[in-house]
Amino acid sequence: METNDLDGIVAEMGRVMDRLAGLPDDAFEERHLLKEQQKSLRERAAIARVGAAIDRPALEAELEHLLTRWDALQKNRIDVVLQSGGGSQGGDAFSGAHAVRVNRQIDAAMGRQQIEDRIADIRRLLEEKT
């Protein structure tokens, strides 16, 4: 069901984000398709938003949802300091470089950059319309 009203687009974006969050790690094709759908929804939302009054409660709800997802993503990341021996002088084997690489993969798989970008967009919209 495709809708061009902003509320409908935002609701569909929430459903897509929930589906993305629930995907298993190896669901690469489905993740790709959902990310493409997410991109399309963002483009449609941008068009619908031009000149429209913002729906403050909907944006605040989306922001709250995104912040919850961002917190969950943070909890899934590896603590680089603990991985590297808590700051001890453990040498290259304990450098934490592997943890940094794994964190980058977690970030990419969970859409960290997209989440952060959308959080920034929503905050900017809420500030502009105050």
pLDDT one-digit tens code per residue, 92-105: 555 678 888 889 99
Q: Which DSSP string do the residues of 77-101 spell out, in sequence order?
A: S--HHHHTTTT----GGGSSHHHHH
CA atoms of 66 and 77, how far apart (whole Å): 17
Count of C-beta atoms within a 10 Å radius of residue 112: 18
The residue range of the domain holding 54 is: 6-128
Predicted local confidence at residue 117, as pLDDT: 92
Burial 65-86 (b: 16+ CB within 10 A, else e): bbeebeeebeeebeeeeebbee
Instruction: Return the residue matching tokens 């069901």.
Output: 1
61 band by pLDDT with thresholds 50, 70 and 90: very high
Average confidence (pLDDT) over 2-29? 84
Whether residue 119 is predicted with pLDDT greater than 80 in this model: the reply is: yes
How many structural domains are present in the chain?
A: 1
- Does the pTM surpass 0.85? The reply is no
In a domain? residue 1: no
Predicted local confidence at residue 127, as pLDDT: 87
Q: Which residues neighbour 114 within 8 Å (Cβ) at sequence distance 6 or greater?
A: 35, 38
Lowest mean pLDDT segment, chosen from 14-18, 70-74, 77-81, 92-96: 92-96
